Structure 1
Amino acid sequence: MTVLLLAVGAAIGAPLRYLVDQLVRTRHDSVFPWGTFAVNVTGSFILGLVAGLPAPTGVTALIGVGFCGAFTTYSTFGYETLRLLQDGARLYAVLNAAASVAAGLGAGSIGLTLARALHG
């Protein structure tokens, strides 16, 4: 049953990642990878929420592992950062790496804190 929940979460997370990325890209005319940044920060927040709530294993598998695992993307983050370096946009590459890590950790911490506050 857990594997099925993982698959369902991933089946929702992966296409949603693509749609959010495309939506964000249409709103920004920049070499900075705002779409990937947005999905990774949002996914970190959601995972923080899930981690902070007393959820059954199935919910954690569905949302935490399946959905967030497919919605967020470390490989695209790495690729886009390297592409920025190769294209000579060193400042954007450094900003992408630093901001992605800082914002992801911050969003996860906020999600965790909010979940704990809501749960009591």
Structure 2
Amino acid sequence: MRFLLVILGGAVGAPLRYVIDRTVQARHDTAFPWGTFAANVTGSMILGVLTGAALSGAVSQNIQLLLGTGLCGALTTYSTFSYETLNLSEAGARFLAAANVVASVIAGLGAVFIGLTLTQAAFG
């Protein structure tokens, strides 16, 4: 049963990542990978909220598997982030590559922290 929850969450997260990426990137005429950035920050926020809810006992382990491991695991993407950063660097856009690394780490950690803090405040 747990395995199926992860599969179900992943089956929603992967196409959601694609839709977020294409929608956001279509609105920006730049080499910066805004679509992947948005998907990763969104997934980080969801995971922060979910973690806060789990720590307060508001969600079950099954929900953690469905949304945390499945959905967020497929929604966020370290491999695409790495690939796009490498492409920027190889294309000579080293500033954008460095900005992608710094902004992604800061925004991702910030989103997890904000989600966790808000949820703990709501359920605490």
- Could you say which TM-score interval applies, normalised by the shorter chain? over 0.9
How many residue pairs are counted as aligned between the two chains? 120
Q: Secondary structure at the match of 1:31?
A: coil
Aligned to 2:45: 45
Runs of 4+ in 1 over 3 A off after TM superposition: none
Coordinate RMSD, CA, aligned? 0.5
Aligned to 2:5: 5
Q: Deviations over 1:18-59 (max 9, x none)?
A: 011000011000000000000000100000011111221100
What code does the residue aligned with 1:72 have? T
**Length-normalised TM-score, structure 1:** 0.99
**Length-normalised TM-score, structure 2:** 0.96
Q: Deviations over 1:68-116 (max 9, x none)?
A: 0000000000000000000000000000000000000000000000110
Equivalent-residue separation in structure 1 for 2:122 and 2:63 (angstroms) = 17
Equivalent-residue separation in structure 2 for 1:71 and 1:94 (angstroms) = 23
Aligned to 2:103: 99
User: Quick one: percent identity of the two aligned structures?
Assistant: 57
* Unaligned 5+ runs, structure 1: none
What code does the residue aligned with 1:63 have? L
Aligned to 1:87: 91
